[in-house]
Structure 1
Amino acid sequence: MAAAGVFFLAVTYVMQTLFPDVSAVGDIVRAPPEIARYIGGAAFQILFVGGYLTTVLGCGLTQQMSAARLLFAMGRDGMLPRAVFRRVDPRTGVPAVNVLVVGLIAASAVFLDLGSAASLIDFGAYVAFAAVNLAVIGFWRATGVRDGRRPAGSPPTYCNRCCRPSGSW
Structure 2
Amino acid sequence: MSVPNYIAGYPQPVQDQVRELLAQDKLGELLLRKYPSVHAVRTDRALYDYVMELKGEFLRSSEPLSKVAYDSKLHVIRNALGTHTTVSRVQGSKLKAKREIRVATLFRDGPPEFLRMITVHELAHFKEKGHDKAFYQLCTRMEPQYHQYEFDLRLYLTQMEAHGKLAWG
Q: TM-score range by the shorter chain?
A: under 0.3
Which of these two proteins has the greater Rg computed from alpha carbons?
1
TM-score, structure 1 normalization: 0.24
More helix by share: 1
TM-score (normalised: structure 2): 0.24
Q: Which has the higher contact order (CA 8 A, sep 6+)?
A: 2
